[in-house]
Amino acid sequence: MENKKILIIDDEPDFVKMLKMRLEFSGYEVAIAFDGDEGLEILRKEIPDLILLDIMMPNKDGYTFLLDMKKDERTREIPVIALTAKAGMKDLFELEGAKDYIVKPFESEHLLAKIREVVGG
């Protein structure tokens, strides 16, 4: 079975490094971006199986990224799990098509369970 590819888009380098290591240890292939603009570039080249998307980032925030990716036929169906410290935005992201929403901080096992629900592995 081919490893599922996950794109992490988050502006916190230490968090991204830790999450990338945890996902790779669990058998996933991982690409990273540190803002929404970089995330869109990588998204169009790599076409991942899942996106883990921070909401509050410089340049292009997660919400704007999500709206932009939904405009592209090749990327609009890729599942997105939004990651944020703002608990009150869940309905907005569900409305825009995010598959799930996790509030930071979270346990890695909780995130891995959500990922398995969405892409398997």
Here the CATH number for the domain that contains residue 40 is 3.40.50.2300
pLDDT score at 121: 64
Q: How many domains does the chain have?
A: 1
Q: What is d(CA 21, CA 38) in angstroms, rounded to the nearest whole number?
A: 20
pLDDT score at 1: 47
**Who wins on pLDDT, 87 or 120?**
120
Residue 2: C-alpha distances to residues 28, 33, 35, 53 (Å): 9, 22, 27, 23
At residue 22, does pLDDT exceed 70? Answer: yes
pLDDT one-digit tens code per residue, 23-72: 999 999 999 999 999 999 999 999 999 999 998 888 888 889 999 999 99
At residue 95, does pLDDT exceed 60? Answer: no
**Residue ranges making up the domain that contains 58:** 5-119
pTM of the shown model: 0.90
